[in-house]
Chains A and B, each alone.
Chain A
């Protein structure tokens, strides 16, 4: 059976999540210990800043043991962490694994990082030798399902981070960003991320330096563009299509008059001003100049929120795709279960036995009660003795989690 014990951003505050996180270098040790202490046949540990989860395959009830391991490993009392834990098994655990990989369980729904983190977690388990056929199948199916959900729905489509929203807005104005001019005023981290993306799309970058011209030159070099002193603002504005301003200046850096002067040269071509500085760099009334689209940090965040709402609308479509994939996975799992196989094997053998007895009776004519009993006993003994070996071995294999032969055996007996 597949089990999941863990906590995420919804069930636990950041303090608890930090306390229970597994550093990468301790994963092999943790995987070995959880297998031993909780009797798991296979184990995977997913530890990100928003979630800590242990995935396992176990033959018997192991939820308590896994919970206890989580507490013990991090030197906590089980009762202390218990209220933050979710403990799932069987179908619920499988569903959870699929939803996590598809980013439906993420704090920012549809964010792309989680799939990579999930893959890393399985890889670490594989290296540590704690990944077997069951969890490996769970990995393959859940990763494939997550990819399907991403391509067939819009859960990951609209940007939800400030830098990416800025890029997306620029695309909504200028379409293809090829050969568009991006001007960075000030050299902050967010501006850099947005500018990098635009340069990847084919835009040309220039950086306007302030007090620290060196930093501007470094950034310009990294973006494959050029640096200019701050005094060149008006000329640079006239040449730019997209301006990302993020200086640490206490007051307004770009006045309405600067923007008007630039627009006069640009003959009405649109100018996209993104002001991500707090306090703001661009005079508010600069947005009233014709052809100017001015977004401050709050505006960009508002778009990000609207985008997130769009993603959430797509959630049910993604859930439907996952349900499809989950059903297939569970059906496949069931086809590998040993107990139903044994039941079917026995039933099939009994059917054959009964049919053959009937045939024999027709040929032999009426039989005495003793003869009847002897016939029954002899055929039953043949069936039992033939099935004894396979039954014992199959049960043993099931205990060891080796279920990969079940499909072959089914084929062999035409079940």
Chain B
């Protein structure tokens, strides 16, 4: 099978997870948990097969252009979600991960492959840089999810008349802790990704900073995470501010990523 066939199977599997998230939000009760988890594990296997197949087909690490970029980001988000679920059993985390992964793979299925086979893409910095970046993004997505869950639960508790989400969403402390760990992990990966990005820049252009917008965006995201870490380091409890910052930080990251995939690295490299 070629990578496209694998990717279509992946989409079908992730659709189950997206349906689960939809039912979860609408019915406000956890249904299909085992089914969607099994489907997601199966989908993840197909997804991995699709990526490795695509690597062979393209001849370079497949994360340039919208098709490969979306697919790769979805893969990292699912992987991080599975890690979070296995370690914490918080199934509300899937509320965002499932639809997000589904949407990204959906986009990947609709878009054509980018057929650029520039020799710069053969550089070993690229897969290293991209792996670090994508795990950073996955972890930051988890932090974003926990931030949203924190704010939801806080609103429920402050309202003094908890509705359904009160029962489904983990405690404030739990969201805060998991979010904090995700930020630490994500921050580490993002830092390394930025460093390797600089090194790649240097090997191509002889300078570390090219002034590219995505460099600025990455820097802003990095500073936001420094702020979250500082807030946590002082109080031990991130609270509402950390939750909002995690959401804002992820928004910047999405912007960075969209920029990097829509205006491919090749364009910069060719300058």
Interface residues of A, Cβ cutoff 8 Å to B: 158, 169, 171-176, 267-270, 291, 293, 295, 299, 302-303, 306, 310
Contacts and interface: CB of A to CB of B under 8 A. Distances in A.
B166 interface: yes
Contacts of B162: 172, 303, 306
Contacts of A303: 160-162
Interface in B157-191: 157-158, 160-163, 166-167, 170-174, 177
A173 B172 contact: yes
Contacts of B157: 169, 172-173, 293
A175 B88 CA distance: 13
Nearest to B161: A302
Nearest to A270: B172
B119 interface: no
B153 interface: yes
A403 B161 CA distance: 55
A379 B64 CA distance: 94
B234 interface: yes
Given A158-B167, A175-B171, A175-B173, A269 B160 contact: no
B161 A269 contact: no
A268 B171 contact: no
Given A267-B234, A267-B237, A291-B239, 12 more contacts: A171-B171, A172-B153, A172-B166, A173-B171, A173-B172, A174-B173, A175-B170, A175-B173, A267-B235, A269-B236, A270-B237, A302-B160
B4 interface: no
Contact of B161 (A158, A173, A267, A306): A306
Select the residue from A169, A172, A173 with max chain B CB neighbours within 10 A.
A172
Contact of B160 (A175, A267, A270, A299): A299
A303 B236 CA distance: 29
Nearest to A296: B160
Interface residues on B, range: 20 to 34
Contacts of A302: 160-161
Contacts of B214: none
Q: Taking chain B's interface residues, is the majority helix, strand, or loop, or is none over half, making it mixed?
A: helix
Interface in B59-89: none
A168 to B, nearest CB: 10
A174 B235 contact: no
A14 B173 CA distance: 44
A176 B173 contact: yes
A71 B171 CA distance: 53
19 contacts: A158-B167, A172-B153, A172-B166, A172-B172, A173-B172, A175-B170, A175-B171, A175-B174, A267-B235, A268-B237, A268-B240, A268-B241, A269-B236, A269-B239, A270-B237, A302-B161, A306-B161, A306-B162, A306-B163
A172 B177 CA distance: 13
Contacts of A173: 157, 171-173
A337 to B, nearest CB: 41
Nearest to B234: A267
A78 to B, nearest CB: 48
Contacts of A175: 170-174, 177
Contacts of B171: 171-175
Nearest to A267: B235
Contacts of B239: 268-270, 291
Contacts of B170: 175
Nearest to A268: B239
A213 to B, nearest CB: 33
A306 B241 CA distance: 29
Contacts of A269: 235-237, 239
B229 to A, nearest CB: 15
List the 6 closest A-B pairs by CB distance, nearest first: A175-B173, A175-B171, A267-B235, A299-B160, A269-B237, A175-B174
A310 to B, nearest CB: 7
B220 to A, nearest CB: 24
Given A172-B166, A172-B172, A175-B171, A268 B161 contact: no
B161 A299 contact: yes
Contacts of B160: 295, 299, 302-303
Contacts of B153: 172
Nearest to A157: B167
Contacts of A299: 160-161
B241 to A, nearest CB: 7
B158 A293 contact: yes
Contacts of B158: 293
A129 B172 CA distance: 54
Contacts of B236: 269
A295 B160 CA distance: 7
A175 B166 CA distance: 13
Contacts of A174: 171-173
Interface in B223-271: 234-237, 239-241
A299 B166 CA distance: 15
Nearest to B175: A175
A165 B22 CA distance: 29
Nearest to A175: B173
Nearest to A290: B240
Contacts of A268: 235, 237, 239-241
